[in-house]
Amino acid sequence: MEELKETGARIWNLTRVFNCREDFRREDDTLPARLFFDPVPEGPSRGEIIVPQKFQQMLDEYYAIQGWDQEGVPKKDTLERLGISELI
């Protein structure tokens, strides 16, 4: 199971490195604007919106968990830990 998780992490980080090479950064990691401004019309979350500041906090946490910097670029030590730093 651990080997599968590590393989998935390698794939995800290589994908992110490729996207960063193509100038994909934090501002691209977002949701459709309607989710921030239009309340959910029905269901258990009726009337709710996603608060932009909370979304940014969650993005910070996600990047930290992934081992990426504040712009969403994988850190060198993350790539080294996954054994893929030499491929970049």
Domains along the sequence of the chain with CATH: 2-87 (1.10.599.10)
**pTM score:** 0.87
Which amino acid makes up residue 47?
G
Predicted pLDDT at 45: 94
| List of the chain residues with pLDDT < 50 | none
Predicted pLDDT at 86: 84
Which amino acid makes up residue 82?
L
**Around 40, how many Cα atoms within 13 Å sit in the side-chain half-sphere?**
10
Predicted pLDDT at 13: 97
